[in-house]
Amino acid sequence: MEQEFFYKDEKAKLIPLCRSLLRYGREAVANSDFARLKAVVKAGAEAGAYHRDRFGLNPVLRNMSAAELLCERLGSDRNMIVAVMLYNLNRHGFLSRETILKEWGADVAKIVDGLNKVSTLYSRHSLVGSENFRNLLLTFAEDIRVIILMIVDRLALMRAINHHPNQQYVNDVAYEVSYLYAPLAHRLGLYGIKSELEDLSLKYTNREVFTQIAHKLNETKASRDAYIADFIKPVKAKLEQEGLKFEIKGRTKSISSIWNKMKKQKNDIENIYDLFAIRIILDVPKEREKNECWLAYSIVTDMYRPNPSRLKDWLSIPKSNGYESLHITVYGPENKWVEVQIRSKRMDVIAEKGLAAHWKYKGIKSEDNLDAWMNNVRDILEAAETGPMELMKNMRMDVYDKEVFAFTPKGDLYRLPLGATLLDFAFSIHTNIGSQCTGGRVNGKNQKINYKLQSGDTVDIFTSPQQVPKQDWLNFVVTSKARNKIRVAVKEQESRVAELGKELMQRRFKNRKIELDEAKLSKVIKKLGSKTVTEFFTRIADGTLNVNDVVDTYLAMDRTSDEVGRISASEYMMQPQTADDEGRPSDDVIVIGNNIKGINYRLAKCCNPIYGDDVFGFISSEGVIKIHRSDCPNAANIRDKYPYRLIRTRWSGKLGSQFGATLRIVGNDDIGIVTNITSIINKEKSVSLRSITVDSNDGLFQGYIIVGVNDTTSLNQLIKKIQTVKGVKNVQRSK
């Protein structure tokens, strides 16, 4: 490889790492594959295809370390090893997907695609604090092998950044590991990796505490080892006497686990509850596993007093990640609590290597467990409005909480987190059952939907078609599936209610013959104290907001708007130099009654008539004749109440002035759309632009354009041309 690519200390690591990877991966990866991998990685390094990240880490060493950890901790897998070694070369364009597909196979190409998706998200930085977190989980949910590779990669990274000069970078990685990768490792049953990730996270974020606990453990190692040996000795003799084949291991719990216990119990390390753990591993055929595990249990509890409340039976009902074991806590010598784990060799392999081993183990089918877990990840992603921090909270909640087991009347078993309610149980069966749940019968007794389940409960759910999910249900459900389904249902209900409120308002506006302006309505919504449009219409529907108050506020705002800013079209009517005091052309263009000219008149502001409109005259109380369009919103009311004040009116044959007209335009809020509209107006010889007011809201814009036109023909031609502009949805003359 190109020597300049490796620093001196990195070169020293390279050969031992290669040998270790060859040794661990030999059973799954052929020598010819390793030779090809070495050649392509070397060629990539020489061609400069590898790029250190912004923190100077070497990608070749990191990929090799991840592959080595995969083999060591989970077992070797040819396609996963190849994919983790090739994806950087593919990502930087040195190795095409077609080449990988041809030379290494479709499955390797699929894993490389998944790793590249994750790498793309990481290149945007600040992953956990952004919406990229959701995309990361979605990528994970596509292939469990991507999850596994990212977990071992994160462990390789955590090992590599000790004493890294950029402390903020170290903190960010440690924070992400504790919230995402350690919980994922736990869920997959990778307890060794999970413990090391949590220990390193504590080390990097609180080095003082980590060092104190580590030193204390080192100081007491000799006495602790002696204690474990004394504890094991009589147990070992009794197990041998019973003819059992076994192995006994003793260990101290991880530093992060001890620190959590110290905080929880508010105690120092000497007084931590069940600090020791002993593991009895039985060499026994699968059909006799449970019998011999319980036999070992009786031997241990005959010698040492057990704590019944600390018994954990994962033999009868394994964990969702495939974990099987029997845990007891006994009162050992020197009045110290000791946890004893009893399991078979098969169970120990699964416990050490997690769900991946359980998945592959000969004779064991765990696809159901695997699918259940992957479905859980997908359930977490269903709540569209949920942010990244809530997603992480749900991940931790579903991963770390203890479990309860409940049964249907038919004997079907459901596994739920501790604290799950009857309603959680209903949603775990089916979304519709949860949505219509009214309560249930638990062990023969009627219970409410917020009843907290106990392990062993038999639950019969009551439903009603009239029942619908309610917002307050979110106060007591704990599973992510129930919370997400309730949120979606409540949101749908709110939308339906809001639609009803919208219809009520639109009907009232129509009855009052008021044209609805979306921009003005947005201001009314804010003025009346609603944060969202949905909330506003919901208040109208449920009666907490009177629709008449909405109309009055709208009209008042209309009047205020006229006073302070938007001038009516009639006030923009272009006048010749010799206009009279009445604000109309000196050369009359209106003929009133029997061809009478020169009568005092004004153009009504409510409908802004222009030359060519069908009009009528109305004698106001001031004695001025106001000219209205025949389709004026006020025309019907005037004709009904004041028929005796109406006077026939028409336009004269000669036009001497331009008239103001207001156009209301609605369209997509696209860049350049207003420029295109004004360009059309400016090209029209008989039209002049007087004013333009534009509001945008939720991707739409609404504009009022005041133009000077000679007559209705010019105006109609202009409207047709504006309607051809891309993005314009509606153009109409404002009354």
429: pLDDT strictly greater than 60: yes
d(CA 47, CA 355): 39
**Helix or strand or coil: residue 359?**
helix
DSSP state of 254: P
Under 8 Å between Cβ of 625 and 724: no
List, by residue range, all CATH 3.30.460.10 domains of the chain: 216-364
The predicted structure's pLDDT at residue 493: 83
Query: What is the fold of 659-733?
Result: Alpha-Beta Plaits (3.30.70)
Q: For residue range 242-277, what is the model confidence (pLDDT) as tens digits?
A: 999 999 988 778 888 888 878 877 777 766 655 678
DSSP 155-204: HHHHHHTTT-S-HHHHHHHHHHIIIIIHHHHHHTT-HHHHHHHHHHHHHH
Residues in the chain: 735
The predicted structure's pLDDT at residue 565: 42
The predicted structure's pLDDT at residue 698: 62
The residues pairing with 667 across neighbouring beta strands, listed in sequence order, are 701, 728
* Mean predicted confidence (pLDDT) in 423-437: 93
Alpha-carbon distances, residue 458 vs 320, 433, 706 (angstroms) = 19, 16, 73
Under 8 Å between Cβ of 487 and 495: no
CATH architecture of the domain covering 3-213:
Orthogonal Bundle (1.10)
d(CA 617, CA 202): 86
Compute, in degrees rounded to 10, the torsion defined by CA atoms 220, 221, 224, 226: -120
d(CA 687, CA 371): 68
Q: Are strands 728-733 and 659-668 parallel, antiparallel or unpaired?
A: antiparallel
* Closest residue by Cα to residue 660 from 570, 568, 587: 570
- Show the tokens assigned to 572: 């923009």
What element of type H or E holds 229? Answer: helix 221-241
Give the contacts of 247 (CB within 8 A, at least 6 positions apart).
280, 281, 283
d(CA 610, CA 206): 79
Dihedral sign of CA atoms 648, 652, 658, 663 in order: positive
The predicted structure's pLDDT at residue 569: 38
Which residue carries 């098969």 as its tokens?
346
The residues pairing with 290 across neighbouring beta strands, listed in sequence order, are none
Q: For residue range 650-675, what is the model confidence (pLDDT) as tens digits?
A: 776 554 567 778 888 888 777 677 77
Under 8 Å between Cβ of 425 and 414: yes
Q: Are strands 276-282 and 336-344 parallel, antiparallel or unpaired?
A: parallel
| Per-residue confidence band for 125, with pLDDT thresholds at 50, 70 and 90 | very low
The predicted structure's pLDDT at residue 4: 60
Under 8 Å between Cβ of 24 and 72: yes
DSSP 427-452: HHH-HHHHHTEEEEEETTEEE-TTPB
The predicted structure's pLDDT at residue 297: 94
The predicted structure's pLDDT at residue 103: 93
Which CATH number, 3.30.460.10, 3.40.50.2300, 3.30.200.20, 3.40.50.720, labels domain 216-364?
3.30.460.10
What element of type H or E holds 697? Answer: strand 687-697
Alpha-carbon distances, residue 367 vs 141, 370, 381, 536 (angstroms) = 15, 5, 21, 48
What element of type H or E holds 349? Answer: helix 345-360
* Mean predicted confidence (pLDDT) in 358-374: 43
Q: What residue type is assigned to position 70 of the chain? A: L
d(CA 147, CA 354): 13
Q: For residue range 561-586, what is the model confidence (pLDDT) as tens digits?
A: 444 344 333 333 333 333 343 444 44
362: pLDDT strictly greater than 80: no
Under 8 Å between Cβ of 326 and 297: yes
**Helix or strand or coil: residue 246?**
strand
Under 8 Å between Cβ of 442 and 413: no
* Closest residue by Cα to residue 111 from 140, 75, 137: 140
Q: For residue range 379-415, what is the model confidence (pLDDT) as tens digits?
A: 544 443 444 434 444 444 444 446 787 888 887 778 7
* Closest residue by Cα to residue 332 from 420, 226, 231, 241: 231
| Per-residue confidence band for 198, with pLDDT thresholds at 50, 70 and 90 | very high
The predicted structure's pLDDT at residue 155: 94
| Cα 604 from chain centre | 55
The residues pairing with 700 across neighbouring beta strands, listed in sequence order, are 668, 697
Share of the chain above pLDDT 90, in %: 22
Min mean pLDDT across 480-484, 556-560, 640-644 is at 556-560
551: pLDDT strictly greater than 70: yes
Q: Within a 13 Å sphere around the CA of 141, how many CA atoms are in the beta-carbon half?
A: 17
Give the contacts of 236 (CB within 8 A, at least 6 positions apart).
248
d(CA 609, CA 620): 17
The predicted structure's pLDDT at residue 204: 93
List, by residue range, all CATH 3.30.70.260 domains of the chain: 659-733
- Show the tokens assigned to 170: 């170290």
- C-alpha radius of gyration, the chain, whole number: 39
d(CA 416, CA 106): 37
Q: For residue range 34-52, what is the model confidence (pLDDT) as tens digits?
A: 999 999 998 998 888 888 8
List, by residue range, all CATH 1.10.3210.10 domains of the chain: 3-213
Sheet order of strands, 615-619 included: 590-592, 646-651, 615-619, 625-629, 601-603
Q: For residue range 513-538, what is the model confidence (pLDDT) as tens digits?
A: 888 888 888 888 888 888 888 888 88
Residue 140: other Cβ atoms inside 10 A: 22
* Mean predicted confidence (pLDDT) in 425-448: 93
Task: Describe the crossing of helices 106-122 and 132-142 by its angle, rounded to 10 degrees.
Answer: 170
Please provide the average confidence, as pLDDT, over all residues in the chain.
79
In three-state form (DSSP H/G/I as H, E/B as E, the rest C), the secondary structure along 541-606 is HCCCCCHHHHHHHHHHHHHHHHHHCCCCHHHHCCCCCCCCCCCCCCCCCEEECCCECCCCEEECCC
* Angle ∠(670,672,678) on CA atoms, nearest 5: 120
- Show the tokens assigned to 579: 């206009």
The predicted structure's pLDDT at residue 333: 86
* Mean predicted confidence (pLDDT) in 373-378: 52
Give the contacts of 389 (CB within 8 A, at least 6 positions apart).
none
- Show the tokens assigned to 260: 């959590």
Q: For residue range 282-318, what is the model confidence (pLDDT) as tens digits?
A: 999 989 999 999 999 999 999 999 988 888 888 888 8
d(CA 612, CA 35): 89
